Amino acid sequence: MRKIAIIGAGSVVFCKTLMLDIMATPALAETEFVLMAPSTTKTSQVKAFADKVIAENGLKSKVSVTTDRREALRDANYVICSFQVGGVSAFELDYTIPKKYGVDQCIGDTLGPGGVFRALRSIPVILDTAKDMEELCPNATLLNYVNPMAMICWALGETNVKFVGLCHGVQTTLDLISGYVGIPKQEIDYVSAGINHMGWFTKLSHEGKDLYPLLRDKFEEPEFYVNEKVRGEVFRHFGYFMTESTGHLSEYVPWFRKNQKALDLYCDEPSFGGESGAYYKWCTYVADKYREQDVLADEPTALPPRSVEYCAYIIEALETGKTFKFNGNIRNDGMITNLPDECCAEGPIFADRTGLNRTIVGDLPPQCAALNMTNINVQRLTVLAAKSGDPETVVQAIALDPLTSSVLTLKEIRDMVTEMLEAEREWLPQFAGKLPRPTPTITIPADVERAEVPIDPALAIFSRFGDLAK
Confidence of residue 463 (pLDDT cuts 50, 70, 90): low
pLDDT at 466: 60
Q: pLDDT value at position 203?
A: 97
Report pLDDT digits (tens) over 372-407.
999 999 999 999 999 999 999 999 999 999 999 999
With 90 as the cut, is the pLDDT of residue 146 above it?
Answer: yes
Q: How confident is the model at residue 447, as a pLDDT?
A: 85
* pLDDT reported for residue 446: 85
* pLDDT mean across residues, the chain: 93
* Least confidently predicted of 118-122, 190-194, 226-230: 226-230
For residues 338-345, average pLDDT: 98
Residue 435 pLDDT more than 70?
A: yes
Residue type, 194: G
User: What is the model's pLDDT at position 459?
Assistant: 67
Residue 10 above 90 pLDDT?
A: no
Is pLDDT at 469 greater than 60 in this prediction?
no
> What gap in Å lies between CA 176 and CA 263, rounded to an integer?
23
Task: Report, as an integer, the average pLDDT of 447-470.
Answer: 71
In whole angstroms, give the CA distance from residue 94 to residue 428: 13
Instruction: Report, as residue numbers or ranges, the catalytic residues.
Output: 168, 252
Q: State pLDDT tens for residues 228-284.
A: 899 999 999 999 999 988 889 999 999 999 999 999 888 876 545 688 888 899 888
205 band by pLDDT with thresholds 50, 70 and 90: very high
296 — pLDDT class (breaks 50, 70, 90):
confident
Average pLDDT over residues 160-187: 94
Task: For the chain, give the percent of residues with pLDDT over 70.
Answer: 96
Query: Would you say residue 465 has pLDDT above 80?
Result: no
pLDDT at 470 > cutoff 60: no
Average pLDDT over residues 12-27: 94
Which fold would CATH assign to domain 88-107+167-306+321-470? LDH C-terminal domain-like (3.90.1820)
What pLDDT is stored for residue 295 in this prediction? 77
